[in-house]
Amino acid sequence: MAQCCVVCKNAVMNNSEGVGLRERKRVQTSEAIHTAASELVLERGFDETTVEAISDRADVSSRTFFNYFASKEDALLGIDEIAVAAELEKERPAQDDLLTAVFDLIYAVFEASGGKNRRMELRREVLRKHPQLITRQMVRVGALEDRLSEIIAGFLAADPRFAGDTEAERREEARILLGICLTTVRMSIKKWANESDADPGGDAAAAAASADPKKTYERAIATLRNVLDKLQ
């Protein structure tokens, strides 16, 4: 019996290691294609960069490319559909601050949709030269509006301030709140892409804030809070 338990335990461990290895390989391949697409667009221009050229640079087949990305634009953004789906299915702990909960949700999906990668300056340069990609990325996030609104409506249902509202009212309120927050995120990413890096010999904190899109994002949230406070 003990020997059987050891065998079963080893089988589970081996399976977990296999899944972990496959996931790491998936992430590495996705990153290689994304980086290749970004480099080629900066070198050759958007129209001259083809899926075939990206695949060659990343050392994968075109078939493999389409296993990871639906288009050249999605490869440039690094959109990871599997990671997005995982974010949407996550259990999210209750938060006292409703606005923070909504922004945390949106930013998690945004990062899974290509907002986070190792070569941030490369991404920034691509977005600076091709700002239409920011709109495409936000449209991609916006395409998840029904699912995001459903999650946010759940936040509202748990908030005493919305306890008296009907389910239909909370769904509508969730869509309005989502729209405001998505606009704030889009504005912050566009601002980050167009900001000039701080002087390397100057303020280190300012340089770090300029290099990190999350810092620009947090400043945009603070501005929104300030506007809402003034409107009350």
Indicate if 126 and 198 belong to the same structural domain: yes
Q: What is the mean pLDDT of each run of 10 residues along the chain (232 residues)?
A: 54 56 85 93 94 97 93 85 83 85 86 64 84 77 83 93 94 93 83 64 50 79 90 85
Final residue before a domain boundary, out of 41, 72, 103: 72
Contacts of 98 (CB under 8 A, 6+ apart): 155, 156, 159
Indicate if 47 and 98 belong to the same structural domain: no
Indicate if 57 and 94 belong to the same structural domain: no
CA distance 119 to 116: 9
- Domain residues for the domain of 191 are 79-232
CA distance 36 to 65: 11
Contact 88, 151 (CB under 8 A): yes
Indicate if 64 and 128 belong to the same structural domain: no
Contacts of 17 (CB under 8 A, 6+ apart): none
Final residue before a domain boundary, out of 34, 51, 72: 72
Using alpha carbons, select from 199, 81, 76 the residue that is nearest to residue 144.
81
- DSSP H stretches of helix in the chain: 2-44, 51-58, 62-68, 72-77, 81-89, 98-110, 120-129, 132-142, 145-157, 167-194, 204-211, 213-231
Query: What value does the CA radius of gyration of the chain take, rounded to a whole number of Å?
Result: 21
Contact 113, 84 (CB under 8 A): yes
Contacts of 63 (CB under 8 A, 6+ apart): none
**Cβ burial 108-135 (10 Å sphere, 16+ → b, else e):** bbbbbbbbbbeeeebbbebbeebeebbe
pLDDT at residue 198, rounded to an integer: 46
Indicate if 216 and 143 belong to the same structural domain: yes
Indicate if 35 and 114 belong to the same structural domain: no
Q: How many domains does the chain divide into? A: 2
Using alpha carbons, select from 177, 137, 187 the residue that is nearest to residue 155.
177
Final residue before a domain boundary, out of 72, 95, 121: 72
Indicate if 137 and 182 belong to the same structural domain: yes
Indicate if 152 and 214 belong to the same structural domain: yes
Residue in the block written with tokens 């029904």: 146
Indicate if 44 and 19 belong to the same structural domain: yes
Amino acid present at 128: R
pLDDT at residue 84, rounded to an integer: 81
pLDDT at residue 6, rounded to an integer: 53
